[in-house]
Chains A and B, each alone.
Chain A
Amino acid sequence: MNATQAIAKFRTCKTTGLRVFRNAEFFTKVNAVLAVVFLLVGAIAAIGLALTRWTAVHLLGSVYYYRMLTLHGVNMLVFWIIFMEMGILYFACTTLLNSRLFSKMLGWISLALMGIGALMTNYIILAGQADVLLTSYVPLKAHPMFYLGIILFAVGALIVCFNFFATLYIAKRDETYEGSMPLVTFGAMAAAIIAVLALAHGAAALIPTFMWSMGWIGPVDPGLYRLLWWGLGHMSQQINVCAMVSVWYFMGTMTTGAKPLNETVCRGAFLLYILFINLASAHHLLVDPGVGPGWKIWNTSYAMYLAVLASMIHGYTVPASLEVAQRRKGFTKGIFGWFSKLPWKDPGFSAVMLSIIIFGFMGGITGVTLGTEQINIIAHNTLRIPGHFHATVVGGTSLAFMGLAYYLVPLIFQKEFYLKGLARIQPYVFGGGIVVMSLGMSFAGSYGVPRRHWDVDFSGSILSAGFDPIAHVMLGLVGIGGIIAFLGLLLFIGLTVATVFFGRSNEGRPMESWQDEHSTRMKDELIEKGYEEEGKDYEHIKTPGTLTVVIIFLLTFAVYYFANWKALADLWFVR
């Protein structure tokens, strides 16, 4: 124990008392910074897209629209999200387990691969040689460097996962912690396991495609490509969900002193993600040729609904743990007294709370409904799909990561934010914009407005086509929501970059709390009590507020779900 400590230099965090290991801390920082850099690239593309889909503005030309769409998809869904997740993995396996990082060397190698891969892909997209969109569906062909860049990036990410597992191993071996690992680390482990599976599918889809683009082998079957690519694409979303839920738990503790009600339930739900997500790539192929109804129904319901169950469980346990924490602080008035007393001005908290609400009420409900075999007929490739995933991966995951950043920067970079007033409103601006945009997309999509489409007036086509004026109003909402979200995003990037590079140092001191003295003291007391109270546990504490909310959620879900069946029933008959 002492020997390891001597080699592995660490500092003790003045806020949490946890040990921060210097070598892992470095990689957390670099990955987080790179994540924000690529977020900026994606954001610049995003505003172009939103203003192009707003038909009254129609900003970009067709070539640039498709190029920016490719740039946006790749930088946001791959580089921003995954760099951030790598930062989280480094943190979760070291500081939370009180262990050093397994290998600094591997850290460097993976960083180099991921950095080079991301630069290559961005370069070739901007050079105009890879206008194939994120999914690069064969036989659409990009320059080989496009596929190679993504493959290198993926190999780098795989190495980070390996480093993570090796660190879990040495931590266990050296007994740096007692008993089971903390829940947040467990969630991160679930993410890392799914990442390995996802990347294996990605390799199976992209390596042959790369070889085909080099002219080394014949064409790749487009149906098989879709199956494999979505093995990567869908599982990646499950990585995002695991990472996001881990952040929910982490921030729940950090901002309110909440403690999971029942570790078995929380961990069991993570386990469900690992076990039942593998075939959910099926829900991207629901109206494809080549796969039969039995396969589609089995893989959506059997595999997916148990993963859905997991999300519904977390969607209860996280707010319930907040409710219990609040009630223990004495906020017991009525059903929702605790709710109004939550630290809404703490951007770490508000971002996470908005993330829970947007992910659950918008992302979750639409996702399960659109992923229903038959209902997909009225949703496939319409704007309903981006409407759905901007509520999951943007309003959910990205917003949660932003909340995390409001604690990561003071704790890991040891810098204090300037302009805290702006930081406090940022989650509301970004979340609000995303909600408006996502609603606009979903409603436009229900008129059949396609995604990935430059001109819904179809000017220049031989046979005319077009949409109801209301659909154009909805596209206006996409533009307006997009502008608001863009401003929220710029605010986030500006604040974090300024703080990381020019913020006031808080080395040797605890971080300045985002909350007032009183609520800071109350949450710190709860955190200090920690697990000592185990046993006289929460069994007797009720969560009427959360129960009310989740029942409302279930009713909303059912109404939306059956309304979609109703809409489907009005269509022509098709088998």
Chain B
Amino acid sequence: MSIFSPVGNWFKAPTGTERLWVGLALTWCLIMSVTMPYWHFKGKQNSTGESYKVEASAFLDRANQFIESNKVGEEKGVPIVEPSPGGDAYLVGEMWRWYPILKLKKGQTYRLHISSPDLQHGFSLLPMNMNFHILPGYDHVLTITPTSTGDFEIICNEFCGIGHHMMTGKIIVE
């Protein structure tokens, strides 16, 4: 009875079905444990958390410089910027917009730097559903290779104040 003290020596190994289940459950846990490192080496989608401490103003300077030198157009007042393949790209998440709009090439790899000068934000790329957390003071670097073309939306999925639900951005892949 779970509400009474056990009588006598209760210390004994599991037997029968119980033992079988403990073994099966442990095996499954081990399989899951090795799947993660396996994917880290063999898989194409990993969150390495590569990041560098950065002052908000320094990050904004770098981002603005990137926008100035790579700007190729504008949509609704938001600059469209085309980074060079293999190079660095910058994305600023602030209350309440993601900017600039990035124009990328399918199959090319970019080092995408994302940070915020104000609050925490959630980088969420749709309709892909890829999500990364963005912290102020951290330059979060995603080494990213688009594998499909089209227009992609970026939304914010971490609460960042009263305009949170209006925070959007865009990535165009050709």
Give the B-binding residues of A (Cβ under 8 A). Answer: 16, 18, 62-63, 66, 96, 131-133, 137, 139-140, 177-184, 221-223, 226, 249-250, 252-254, 258-265, 285-293, 296-297, 300-302, 305-306, 308-309, 312-313, 316-317, 320, 368, 372-374, 376-382, 446-448, 450-456, 458-468, 527, 530-532, 534-535, 539, 542-544, 546-547, 550-551, 554, 557-558, 561, 565, 568-569, 571-575
Contacts and interface: CB of A to CB of B under 8 A. Distances in A.
Given A374-B40, A377-B132, A463-B76, 4 more contacts: A530-B4, A542-B16, A543-B17, A572-B144
Given A380-B122, A458-B155, A550-B21, A179 B166 contact: no
A96 B162 contact: no
A290 to B, nearest CB: 5
A193 to B, nearest CB: 19
Nearest to A567: B129
13 contacts: A66-B162, A66-B164, A181-B5, A182-B1, A182-B4, A184-B2, A262-B15, A263-B10, A265-B14, A300-B36, A565-B35, A568-B43, A571-B147
Contacts of B21: 312-313, 316, 547, 550
Interface string B130-145: 1111111111101111
A253 B4 CA distance: 10
A332 to B, nearest CB: 16
Given A261-B18, A373-B36, A381 B47 contact: no
Nearest to A385: B157
B72 interface: no
A410 to B, nearest CB: 16
Given A182-B5, A317-B18, A546-B17, A264 B147 contact: no
A486 B78 CA distance: 44
Contacts of B43: 374, 568-569
B32 A372 contact: yes
Interface string B142-169: 1111111000011111111110111111
Contact of A250 (B2, B26, B132, B158): B2
Contacts of A317: 18
B173 to A, nearest CB: 9
A230 B85 CA distance: 38
A290 B29 contact: no
A453 B156 CA distance: 9
Contacts of A374: 36, 39-40, 43, 45-47
B22 A265 contact: yes
A293 B4 contact: no
Contacts of A571: 44-45, 128-130, 147
B4 to A, nearest CB: 5
B129 A378 contact: yes
Contacts of A179: 5-8
Contacts of B158: 137, 381, 452
A453 B165 contact: yes
B88 to A, nearest CB: 14
B3 A180 contact: no
A259 B17 contact: no
Given A289-B135, A446-B129, A461-B166, A252 B14 contact: no
B108 to A, nearest CB: 11
A113 B43 CA distance: 51
Contacts of A262: 12, 14-15, 18
B4 A448 contact: no
Contact of A572 (B7, B12, B130, B154): B130
Interface string B48-79: 11110000000000000000000000011110
Most buried by B among A178, A551, A571, A574: A574
A363 B44 CA distance: 28
9 smallest beta-carbon distances between A and B, as pairs: A289-B51, A450-B157, A448-B129, A289-B140, A249-B2, A301-B33, A531-B7, A465-B153, A381-B157
A296 B47 contact: yes
A458 B5 contact: no
A571 B51 CA distance: 22
B131 to A, nearest CB: 4
A182 B138 contact: no
A574 to B, nearest CB: 5
Contacts of B137: 221-223
Given A381-B122, A448-B126, A288 B169 contact: no
B28 A557 contact: yes
Nearest to B139: A289
A450 B122 contact: yes
A531 B143 CA distance: 61
A382 B45 contact: no
Contact of A535 (B8, B139, B156): B8
Contacts of B25: 309, 312-313, 316, 554
A181 B3 CA distance: 9
Contacts of B22: 265, 313
A453 B164 contact: yes
Contacts of B49: 287-293, 296
Contact of B119 (A139, A253, A378, A381): A139
Most buried by B among A223, A260, A446: A223
Contacts of B159: 66, 132-133, 137, 140, 452
B4 A320 contact: no
A37 to B, nearest CB: 27
Nearest to A292: B49
Contacts of A467: 126-127
A450 B125 CA distance: 11
Contacts of A263: 6, 10-11
Nearest to B6: A263
A523 B158 CA distance: 50
Nearest to B101: A463
A454 B119 contact: no
Nearest to A260: B2
Nearest to B44: A573
A389 to B, nearest CB: 16
A182 B3 contact: yes
Contacts of A380: 122, 131-133, 157
A463 B75 contact: yes
B168 A572 contact: no
B103 interface: no
